[in-house]
Amino acid sequence: MLFDDRSDAGRRLAKRLEYLRDEDVVVVGLPRGGVPVAYEVARALDAPLDVIWVRKLGVPYQPELAFGAIGEDGVQVINDVVLGYTRLTREEIAEVEHRERAELRQRTERLRRAHPRIPLSGRTVVVVDDGIATGATARAACQVAWEQGAQRVVLAVPVAPRDTVAVLQEVADEVVCLEMPTWFGAVGGWYHDFGQVTDAEVELLLRSAQTRSELP
């Protein structure tokens, strides 16, 4: 199954999540690409939309390959398998983490000035991304949701490798995934349009979702 774009993926994903409509749900997208997908899910479930900021820790000479991820509230996830065969030094790991922590802090502070965090305590939190490769950022986001008091965490994505989905069931109560190919490639390969999502688009979608929720 190829998705036209992230909005199309979100609408298809929302159909699989209809059973959550009667629960006290908050939908959180992973910026930036997961937010357009999460927006469609939140709209279909008539649920509030927020984000959980996470940053991939990329291997210095192959940035798209994650050896881990960090998230809000000091959450850190490390992939020991990737570290094992990349043989990164402690200094290299620390340098990447320091850089990404600074970026995470800057982005979080800027966004939260305009969009205060929606409380997750005691609620069902649906964590949404546009796809999963290694699973590091998704794992970090789920851990952030737990740290913020979620009662239940559902991880929902359009596409992810089958073996990664199996592993992620350890950090979420449920993983909902539309496509679980044995041969995966890259997330973008499952979309006709996989253009970059900007910070401005993320903020626009959050404002739109907030306005919708305030309507009588």
Q: Is 101 helix (H, G, I), strand (E, B) or coil?
A: helix
CB distance 128 to 13 below 8 Å: yes
Mean of pLDDT over the chain: 92
Gyration radius (Cα) of the chain, Å: 16
CB contact set of 185 (below 8 Å; sequence gap of 6+): none
* CA dist., res. 157 & res. 48, Å (int): 18
State yes or no: pLDDT of 205 exceeds 90: yes
CB contact set of 100 (below 8 Å; sequence gap of 6+): 55, 56, 57, 70
* CA dist., res. 38 & res. 164, Å (int): 20
Give the confidence band of 216 by pLDDT, cuts at 50, 70, 90: low
Strands 152-159 and 25-29: unpaired
Closest CA to 137 of 61, 65, 30: 30
Phi, psi torsion values for 184, nearest 5 degrees: -105, -55
CB distance 133 to 161 below 8 Å: yes
* CA dist., res. 73 & res. 148, Å (int): 8
pLDDT value of residue 214? 64
pLDDT digits (tens, 9 = 90+) for 122-150: 999 999 999 998 888 999 999 999 999 99
pLDDT value of residue 87? 86
State yes or no: pLDDT of 215 exceeds 60: no
Give the confidence band of 213 by pLDDT, cuts at 50, 70, 90: low
Query: Does the reported pTM lie above 0.75?
Result: yes
CB distance 66 to 82 below 8 Å: yes
pLDDT digits (tens, 9 = 90+) for 134-192: 888 999 999 999 999 999 999 999 999 999 999 999 999 999 999 999 888 889 999 99
